[in-house]
Structure 1
Amino acid sequence: MKRFKAVVSGRVQNVGFRTFASMNAQQCHLTGSVTNLENGDVEVIIQGEQKDIDEFLELTRKGNRFIRVDNIQLKMLPVVEGEKKFTYHW
């Protein structure tokens, strides 16, 4: 089990990125959260097995026709025991 903070930059606000990230996190069996940052980036906290995190990051990098991901900065965080879901933060 691992936990990361991913700061995602590109065209990631006002394009449905938080919903996109939430759906991908659930599909990949991850917990955590997604939050818009004031500078236009989005912070995603993801926790789960490394293979699931890798799949989530691959899906995130691909984006969609509205979302364009230019960069993802990863930082490892301590695992939060007992976390059960992926949530939005405003």
Structure 2
Amino acid sequence: MDQAKLAVAAWAVFLGGFVVLAAVHSWQRSHGTAMSDKVWFGVPATLAIVAAPLLWRSTSPHRPAWIRGLLVACHAVAGFVIYTAMCLWYVVGTGLDGQ
């Protein structure tokens, strides 16, 4: 698999998994059950851990390890910002902040 596809796959794993998590949480709330905080915060962390090796492999043309690490760190920061924005959008949009 070429490098661009690996980077896209890493982002798809992380963002797609978060969308599925939000859908499951919404479904659970509509049926009167609740998702634990461990699951709500643990799943995105696990998805990030799964995506990190894919991002590392996508940087293989860049030879010095510090450049590869810097690129993966930039992706991680961008992912954290997007994750935070999606969490805020979901929490405010569903009214979870008013409970």
Shorter-chain TM-score tier: 0.3 to 0.5
**Relative CO higher for 1 or 2, CA cutoff 8 Å, sep ≥ 6?**
1
TM-score of the aligned structures, taking structure 1 as reference length: 0.39
Query: Which structure's residues are more often strand, by fraction?
Result: 1
Query: Which structure's residues are more often helix, by fraction?
Result: 2
**Greater gyration radius:** 2
TM-score of the aligned structures, taking structure 2 as reference length: 0.36
